[in-house]
């Protein structure tokens, strides 16, 4: 399963925002986040985007509203907008992918499910100053192949 960069950027942030009222009150993740390729580690064989930015405009206990802008290695700029209930249930985020979000202790977790048994489990944490988010993921291709990766985002 190829990771969809826009979805992954959203996943880490969305996990935090969907955690519940305590997180919604602080709105620590509302704003713009930029993917840091120098600090991130790609799964083997994954193409690196030229650029990726995510912006959250609403984050409360009932809804998440955000957009993601990705520049592909071919120079194509894709912008996607999302508006999703923040209730901890699996919801479609594309025609083939569902996701669920939760907070466990001080870790934010998101799990994606693909159409043929693929999954992507991500755990995100914020730095003490809330300017850096680190997301550690395990990508399961559904055929026994598993790859670990780390995505780091800087607040813009």
C-beta of residue 134 within 8 angstroms of C-beta of residue 52: no
Calculate mean pLDDT across residues 92-114: 78
Q: Is CATH 3.90.1150.10 the right assignment for the domain spanning 5-155?
A: no
Q: Edge-to-edge, what's the strand order for the sheet holding 63-71?
A: 77-85, 63-71, 51-59, 31-35, 146-155, 132-140, 119-126, 107-113, 98-104, 91-92
What's the pTM?
0.76
Summarize pLDDT for 30-81 with one digit per residue, the tens.
778 899 999 999 888 888 899 999 887 766 666 667 788 999 999 999 998 8
Q: What is the pLDDT of residue 66?
A: 77
With a cut of 60, say whether residue 27 has pLDDT above it.
no
Q: Looking at the predicted structure, is the pLDDT value of residue 25 above 70?
A: no
Confidence at 105, pLDDT banded by 50, 70, 90: low
């Amino acid at each position: 399963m190829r990771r969809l960069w826009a979805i992954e950027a959203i996943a880490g942030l969305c996990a935090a925002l969907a955690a519940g009222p305590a997180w919604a009150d602080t709105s620590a993740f509302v704003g713009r986040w930029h993917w840091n390729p120098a600090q991130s580690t790609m799964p083997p064989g994954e193409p690196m985007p030229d650029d990726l930015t995510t912006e959250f405009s609403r984050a409360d206990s009932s809804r998440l509203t955000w957009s993601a802008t990705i520049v592909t290695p071919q120079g194509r700029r894709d912008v996607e907008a999302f508006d999703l209930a923040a209730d901890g249930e699996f919801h479609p985020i594309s025609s083939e992918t569902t996701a669920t979000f939760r907070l466990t202790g001080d870790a934010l977790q998101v799990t994606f499910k693909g159409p043929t048994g693929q999954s992507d489990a991500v755990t995100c944490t914020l730095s003490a100053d809330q300017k850096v988010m680190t997301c550690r993921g395990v990508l399961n291709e559904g055929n026994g192949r598993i790859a670990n990766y780390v995505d780091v985002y800087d607040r813009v």
